[in-house]
Amino acid sequence: MKSFDAIVIGGGQAGPFLAARMVEKGMKVALIERKFLGGTCVNAGCMPTKTLVASARAAHVARSGAVYGVNIPGEIAIDMKVVRGRAEAVTMNARNGLIGWFAGMDGMTVIYGHARFEDPKTVSVNGETLTAPRIFLNVGARPVIPDLPGINDIDYLTSTSIIHLDTLPRHLAVIGGSYIGLEFAQMYRRFGAEVSVIEHGPKLASREDEDISDAIADVLRSEGIDIHTGVSDIAFARSSDGITVATDSASIDASHVLIATGRKPNTDDLGLDAAGVITDKHGYITVDDKLATNVEGIWALGDCNGHGAFTHTSYNDFEIAAANLLDGDDRNLSSRIPAYALYIDPPLGRVGMTEKQARASGRKIMISTRPMSRVGRANERGETKGFMKVIADAETKKILGAAILGIEGDEVIHGIIDAMNAGTTYPALQWSVPIHPTVSELIPTLLGDLKPV
């Protein structure tokens, strides 16, 4: 049996950085990864997909050139092999960077293999047994494949496999109208494929307020994406030239099907029962406000604990654990203000409560909205789709949440994220003097229009 000061299972966006901090403190650490360092973000998420989004936007801008007085003769052609190659290069550069970084660390042992608990302090991997007083789980999540009629008779794609496509689908059917599905839908439409989005719920991006959801649907429809919501029955069958997707309202002749119906934690094969670690009904590991499980000496970080399925929340889990365990600090999961983005174009930046959540909280609230067509920078760039929305507490004057669907919305939202984290009231932020011409300059005006509801 090999002994370590700590064992980290999973090489995503929390575990490796925590392992590196512990090594800096002189600890002996084992980092176990069953496949690739970097987790979903590096290998099948943010980095490759946003690289693909960039290629898709370049195609869209090239096709729109005449509007700006830039005439490009001939048809805009897409070389999917080059598109795929760019995404793979970004992934490999990041992955190899991590490999090189850890290789140069004394005290770090990287082991590739499938780890399972033998007891609360012991794990086995590749026929070896390792023990440590501290074990950190950062095992991530994977796509959910629903049990739909005919699904096992077709060759479907997931968010992991679709990034390796080097040919353009004739018609891509996206099953699931949430964040992952919508990004791929617009991306492949801009590459030149016909695209249909099929969503069980009554609207796209169901986490959002109805006005945001409707605006997202308008953006996608304006680019020729076929949207089906409220679909109760879906079945698949092979056809002579592809796949027939039959719903209760339509029959779609697709060449490819992307299953984007959610993700589930990679916790079902870790031997958690042997360690006594509790999970919820969805398989997420139950943690307290310090990210500790119910078993002393075991923590769960990142997607597998169900407290955020984003790279930035996973990294913040690392920051919380490192601060509390290594720096003598007192950081809590509950102090994190939720924020995220949807990377369609224009993007959606979101922070804090939705309007629906704010109304349900019982607070006296104020709301303000402004169309992006009122933003000078958006008009100058010819990108005026979307709107800004902010919700505030009428009594405390604190901002409760905001949504910016529009050009650079994923960047502009950070002004509000920072204000909320600093506890700044909206009147104080309203008196800031933003730079002109920027998208952010409309925020003080947006705040000035807050009205009670």
Interval 16-62: pLDDT, tens:
999 999 999 999 999 999 999 999 999 999 999 999 999 999 999 99
pLDDT digits (tens, 9 = 90+) for 348-398: 999 999 999 999 999 999 999 999 999 999 999 999 999 999 999 999 999
Omega prior to 338 cis, within 30 of 0 = no
Backbone angles phi, psi at 421, to 5 degrees: -65, -30
Backbone angles phi, psi at 68, to 5 degrees: -100, 10
> Residue 430 pairs with which residues in a beta bridge?
none
Residue carrying the six token digits 């994220």 = 417
Which of 234, 260, 286 marks a domain boundary?
A: 260
Which of 260, 287, 316 marks a domain boundary?
A: 260
Average pLDDT over residues 308-320: 96
Other beta carbons within 10 Å of 143: 20
Domain enclosing residue 241, as ranges: 151-260
pLDDT digits (tens, 9 = 90+) for 55-111: 999 999 999 999 999 999 999 999 999 999 999 999 999 999 999 999 999 999 999
Residue carrying the six token digits 């629906």 = 356
Q: Are 277 and 129 part of one and the same domain?
A: yes
Other beta carbons within 10 Å of 252: 19
- Confidence band of 421 (pLDDT split at 50, 70, 90): very high
In one-letter notation, the amino acid at residue 370 is R
294 CB contacts (<8 Å, ≥6 apart)? 276, 277, 278, 286
Report the C-alpha gap between 436 and 442 in whole angstroms: 9
Q: Are 371 and 275 part of one and the same domain?
A: no
Q: Are 298 and 353 part of one and the same domain?
A: no
Q: Are 396 and 415 part of one and the same domain?
A: yes
Q: Are 406 and 294 part of one and the same domain?
A: no
Q: Are 294 and 418 part of one and the same domain?
A: no
Q: Are 138 and 254 part of one and the same domain?
A: no
- Confidence band of 309 (pLDDT split at 50, 70, 90): confident
In one-letter notation, the amino acid at residue 176 is G
pLDDT digits (tens, 9 = 90+) for 186-243: 999 999 999 999 999 999 999 999 999 999 999 999 999 999 999 999 999 999 999 9
Which of 242, 260, 278 marks a domain boundary?
A: 260
Query: What CATH code is carried by the domain that includes residue 225?
Result: 3.50.50.60
pLDDT of residue 367: 98
Assess contact for 337 and 420: CB atoms under 8 A. yes
Closest CA to 54 of 94, 98, 11, 90: 90
Q: Are 89 and 103 part of one and the same domain?
A: yes
Q: Are 248 and 276 part of one and the same domain?
A: no
Average pLDDT over residues 417-433: 96
Residue carrying the six token digits 């003598």 = 328
Q: Are 438 and 358 part of one and the same domain?
A: yes
| Domains in the chain, number | 3
Report, in angstroms and rounded to the nearest whole number, the Rg of the chain calculated over CA atoms: 24
**Category of 350 on φ-ψ map: left (φ > 0), alpha (ψ -120 to 50) or beta:** beta
Q: What's the token pair of residue 213?
A: 């959801």
Catalytic residue among 164, 256, 282, 436: 436
Residue 414 among the catalytic residues: no
pTM above 0.85, yes or no: yes
- Confidence band of 249 (pLDDT split at 50, 70, 90): confident
Q: Are 12 and 138 part of one and the same domain?
A: yes
Q: What is the dihedral of CA 349, 350, 354, 358, to 10 degrees?
A: -130
Query: What CATH code is carried by the domain that includes residue 381?
Result: 3.30.390.30
pLDDT digits (tens, 9 = 90+) for 328-345: 999 999 999 999 999 999
Q: Are 228 and 178 part of one and the same domain?
A: yes
Report the C-alpha gap between 300 and 293 in whole angstroms: 7
Q: Beta strand 128-131 with 122-125: parallel, antiparallel or unpaired?
A: antiparallel
Assess contact for 83 and 167: CB atoms under 8 A. no
pLDDT digits (tens, 9 = 90+) for 116-173: 999 999 999 999 999 999 999 999 999 999 999 999 999 999 999 999 999 999 999 9
- How many residues are given for the chain? 453
pLDDT of residue 316: 98
Residue carrying the six token digits 């997420």 = 284
